[in-house]
Structure 1
C-alpha cells in the first residue's frame, strides 16, 4: 500500500469516529410545511331514518322534502283514537284505586260505623236481659222452684248474649280503625301501579306525533298517508323518512400512513367540487382514526365542513388540501391528541368509517330518538 493510500484511509477512519454517537438530524424535507392533496366523499354529519314508536295508520304527513325543520317539529301523525281510549281507561283505574284507598284511610263509611254501633247497643240490651234472667232463675233454682234444665237454658242464653256483645264490639272497632296496615300498603301500591299505567298510556299517546330528532330536513320520504306502520321495536318496522342535517357535512378521506404523523386536529383544509369549479370551501380536521388498513397502508381522516349555504350536497366527490405540521409528531398519541395552540384533546373513533351518503338512500344509518321504544 502506497503512502498516499494510507493517508486517505486514515482520514476516512477519523471522520467515521467523529460522527459516532451524534444524534440523527431531520432533513429539510421533514421540516417544511406540508399540504396534503386528498380525495373523498361528503356525507351528513347527522343522518337517521325516522321511525314511529307506536303502530298505527298514518293520518298525516306534515313534512315536505328538502324543507328545513327544527328539533321537536311534528313530522307525521299516527291515528290517536286507540291510544286516547287507553288513556281514559288508565285514568278511570287510577281514580277507582284512589277512592278505595281513601275509604280505607277514613276507617270505613259513616253509615257502616252507625250500623256497627247500633249492633253493639242491641247486644248490650240483650246481654242485660239475659243476665237478669239468669240471676232470677238462679234464685228460683235455690228455692227448688225450677228444674236444672230451666237453669241451664237461662245460663246458655246469657252466654250467647255475651258472645254476641263481644262480636259486635270487635266489629265496631274494626270499622272505626279501618283496614290493617298491610292492606293499606297493598292498596297504596295499587294506586302507584295505576298511576304508572296512566303515565305509560299518556306517553304512548304522545308518540302518535312523530317529531324531528334534531335541526335538519327530510332527504327522502319513504311512506304515504294512509299506510299502516309498525312500531320501531318490531323487526318488520318501516321507516317514514330519511332525515339529515346537511348544514354541517363531513368528508372522510384516505390518508397515506406515512403522512399521518403530520396531521393535527383543528388544522385548516380547503375543499373543491366539480359542481362549483373555481370555488373553495373551508373545512377543519375533526378526527384522525387510529387505524391503518393493512392492505392499502392508509388511514382515515375526517373533515368537518360548514355548509350553511347548502351549496354542497351529500354524496359529492371532493378534492381536499389539508394543511399539515412542519414536523412529525413525537408519537401516535400526540398526533391523535392534536396538541396545537388552542386545540384541546379530542376523543377519536376506534374503527374507520365507511364514506356514505344519506340522500337519497343511505345504507341504514342509525335510528333516531323517535324509534327507540
Structure 2
C-alpha cells in the first residue's frame, strides 16, 4: 500500500511540474517591455548683449497741458466739442461773438483804401508840379508841398495796414482753436457768458496732450554715481542722451511694454532730496498712460554684458535651495542646477552662474521632468 501511495504522489508531482513548464512561456509573454524614455523639449541658452538696468518708481506727465482762454472780450456764442473729446491741432473749439470785430476789420480796410487814394493823388500832383517847375510855371514851394503830401499818405498807408492786420488778428481770436492734438477736459464756461473782459480772464477749458507722454522719476545720488562710474565718468552729449532707451509699465502689466528714449536729465542733484531728476519720452497712441499715474521705470545703468546667457522665465523653478533649472546631461539624464539670476530681458531671464552656453535646458513638459529621469531630448530654439 505504501509503495502504491508513493507512486501516486510522484505521478502528481510530475504532472504539476509539467503544467508549470507549459505555463511558463505564457507568463513570460505577458511581461510588458520597458517604456521608452519620455521626449522632453530642450534648448541651449540664448547668447546676446544686454545692459545692466535700474528699476524705479515714477510718474507719467503730460508733454503739453494748456488752459484755453478768450483773448478778446465778447459773448461766448458756441462750443464746438464734447467734453472729453479727442481733437486735432487746429480744430475749432469755441466761437466768440464776431460782429464787432468784423466791423472793425471793415473800418480798417476802408482807412487803408482812403490812404491809398490820397497817396496816388499826391504822387500825381508831384509829377504835375515838377513838370510845371521845369517850365517855370510854378514855384518850388508847391512841389515841396505835394512831396510832403505823398510821403504823409505813404505813412498813413503803413498805419492803415497795421490796423487791418490788428483787426484781422482780433477777429481770428474770436475762434479758439486746438493748439495741438490732445484730449479736451470739460468746458468750464457755458455759451452766452461774457468772456475775455477782465484782466484775469476765466479759463474756457483745458486740453492735454497724451501722445507722446513724459515718464519722470528720481534716482538716488548713489545710483547716479554708479551710472557715471559705469560710463567712466563721462558725461553724455544731448544727442547720445536721446538714444538711451527707457521702459515703463503700469502696476498691473507684465514686463515693460511701453518703450521710449531718455529726453532730459537734470544738471545737478537736488540737495533737499538727494535725488537726480530724469525724464523720458514714450509714444502713447493707445493712451494707456495717463498723467499722474504711477509707473515702473527701467533705465540702463551703462554697464553692458556682451555674452549674457538667457533662458525662458518659464524654465525656472524654485525650492528651498533657491532657483534652479533642469539640465539634460551627456547621458540624457536630467540634473538639477541651482543658478544665479541677472536682469529680465522681455520674457527671458539672464543667468549669471550655474550653467554654460552648451547646456541643454529643459524648456517644456516640466511637469514630466524631474532630476534623475532618463529622457529623449528634443532640441528646440529659444524665441527672441
TM category, shorter: 0.5 to 0.7
What does residue 301 of structure 1 align with? 278
Greater strand content: 2
What does residue 235 of structure 1 align with? 199
1:210 counterpart = 2:176: yes
- What is the TM-score normalised by the length of structure 1? 0.57
Work out the CA distance in 1 between the residues paired with 2:223 and 2:256: 26
Work out the CA distance in 2 between the residues paired with 1:96 and 1:287: 56
**SS in structure 2 at match of 1:64:** coil
Structure 1 unaligned runs (5+)? Answer: 1-31, 114-168, 328-373
1:57 counterpart = 2:75: yes
CA-to-aligned-CA distance 1:169-218 (integer Å, 9 cap, x gap): 659x988x694322321121112211211121112111111111112221
Residue 79 (structure 1) shift = 0.4
What does residue 121 of structure 2 align with? 103
1:223 counterpart = 2:189: yes
State the Cα RMSD in Å: 2.9
Q: Which of 210, 217, 231 pairs up with 1:253?
A: 217
Rate the CA distance shift 1:257–1:99 in 2: closer, same or farther, 3 A: same
CA contact (8 A) 2:216 2:278 kept: yes
Rate the CA distance shift 1:268–1:98 in 2: closer, same or farther, 3 A: closer
CA contact (8 A) 1:106 1:178 kept: no
Work out the CA distance in 2 between the residues paired with 1:285 and 1:272: 15
Work out the CA distance in 2 between the residues paired with 1:243 and 1:249: 14
Greater helix content: 1
CA contact (8 A) 1:286 1:304 kept: yes
1:112-131 correspondence runs (5 A) = none
1:244 counterpart = 2:242: no
Q: Which has the higher contact order (CA 8 A, sep 6+)?
A: 1
Residue 314 (structure 1) shift = 1.3
CA contact (8 A) 2:122 2:147 kept: no
**SS in structure 2 at match of 1:88:** helix
1:44 counterpart = 2:62: yes
CA contact (8 A) 1:65 1:219 kept: yes
Rate the CA distance shift 1:325–1:182 in 2: closer, same or farther, 3 A: same
What does residue 190 of structure 1 align with? 156
**SS in structure 1 at match of 2:303:** coil
**SS in structure 1 at match of 2:267:** coil
1:1-373 correspondence runs (5 A) = 33-107=51-125, 170=138, 179-230=145-196, 235-261=199-225, 262=227, 265=241, 266-274=243-251, 276=253, 280-326=257-303
Work out the CA distance in 1 between the residues paired with 2:292 and 2:244: 23
**SS in structure 1 at match of 2:156:** helix
- What is the TM-score normalised by the length of structure 2? 0.55
Work out the CA distance in 2 between the residues paired with 1:62 and 1:225: 10
Residue 222 (structure 1) shift = 2.1
Rate the CA distance shift 1:247–1:275 in 2: closer, same or farther, 3 A: farther
Structure 2 unaligned runs (5+)? Answer: 1-49, 130-136, 229-235, 305-384
CA contact (8 A) 1:107 1:178 kept: no
Work out the CA distance in 2 between the residues paired with 1:98 and 1:295: 65
Work out the CA distance in 2 between the residues paired with 1:269 and 1:174: 78
CA contact (8 A) 1:55 1:228 kept: yes
CA contact (8 A) 1:105 1:178 kept: no
CA contact (8 A) 1:222 1:239 kept: yes
Rate the CA distance shift 1:235–1:292 in 2: closer, same or farther, 3 A: farther
User: For this pair of structures, how many residues does the alignment match?
Assistant: 235
